[in-house]
Amino acid sequence: MSHQSKYFKYKNKYLKLKNQVGSAKNTIPIIREQRVLVESGEYDNIILDAESNITMIRKSDGANIMINFPDSFPVRNIITIDINDIKTDIKWNKPGYVHTILKSLKESDEQFDKKVLILCHSQKVTGSFTPMVLNNHWLGSEYNNIFAEYKLTGNPKFETIDIIPGGTYQDDAFSDTFIENHINDYDMILVPDCGGIWYELQKTSIDEKFRKIRDLTEDEQNQNKTLLIEKSLNLTRMLKPNGIIYFGKFLSETPCIIRGKKFATFSDALNYSMNNHGLISQIKIINSMVMIISQKS
């Protein structure tokens, strides 16, 4: 048999299978799967595009999901699932539809028994607890020293959030909406180097119109720092029992009055408030960096 004959024999067999079972451009199981996903109530905004790829939003955490089928599916059965720009290729040999594939992906994700959220970081990071390693973040050089005494164990999954895209979430971590969606979700939260309200509410002066700088009064500074403490305490709602939250980047370590009580520095005020809120909190200084570490009881 000539090479050309072999080619046409294979092509005809392939097209027959493609038309019978369905390809990414003509797939009855995928169309049927869209209905299953709608009825499941677990996803929103489910769209089947012209290429039979499925996009949707997972209700539980707002994750954007795209399922990409190769043109030769199911002859070529490598399916790509993209969740918040993190791509996973799955070789699918089992009967079933996309909800089964998603269930399989969720089960594989359960290899992570811990979750870490890093605020104000627009890149994805990886790391571990044993040994204590944090990759793709400046805090990594001190990561082991900061948490050495906590004897952390398990296999952590690291998530990042920033208003700039690039990390796991593009959102404001201090917002009530984000916090409400992640109650009791994290074993560790890192607040190492934030701008936004973390920076603005610690300032001792503000830029007004025409670049005029005005010094804030003591009352204004105390009001801002009181609000920042309330925002910081609100973050702890995302911690699991025994979870740890870390704060860094203390800018104006000047005396302040929070709810009638005087403190030598803002870090003293935040540390006191954490302890008073039922956490076990301490101030650490490592390589001249002032930081607060609080553990939920």
Write the CATH number for 129: 3.40.50
| Same structural domain, 208 and 254 | yes
- Choose one of 58, 84, 109: the last residue of a domain: 109
Four-residue CA torsion sign, 129, 135, 137, 142: positive
Packed helices 266-276 and 218-235: angle between N→C axes, nearest 10 degrees: 40
Range with the poorest average pLDDT among 26-30, 168-172, 196-200, 222-226: 26-30
pLDDT for 87 beyond 60: yes
When the pLDDT of each residue in the chain is averaged and rounded to a whole number, the result is: 81
pLDDT in tens, 252-297: 788 999 999 999 999 999 999 999 999 999 999 988 889 999 999 8
Mean pLDDT along residues 41-59: 77
In this prediction, residues 117-124 reach a mean pLDDT of 94
Residues 134, 102 within the same domain: no
Do 44 and 125 belong together in one domain?
no
How many Å apart are CA 297 and CA 279, to the nearest integer? 6
Distances (CA, A) of 174 to 119, 162, 218: 9, 10, 25
Provide the number of structural domains found in the chain: 2
207 and 233 part of one domain: yes
Same domain, 15 and 96: yes
Q: Are residues 234 and 149 in the same domain?
A: yes
Are residues 88 and 172 located together in one domain of the fold? no
pLDDT confidence tier of residue 63, bands split at 50, 70 and 90: confident
**70 is in which domain, residue-wise?**
3-109
Is-above-0.85 flag for pTM? Answer: no
Last residue of a domain, one of 109, 128, 151: 109
217 with 251, same domain: the answer is yes
When comparing pLDDT for 137 and 109, which is higher?
A: 137
Does 244 lie in the same domain as 125? yes
Residues 192 and 82 in one domain: no
Neighbouring-strand partners of residue 19:
none
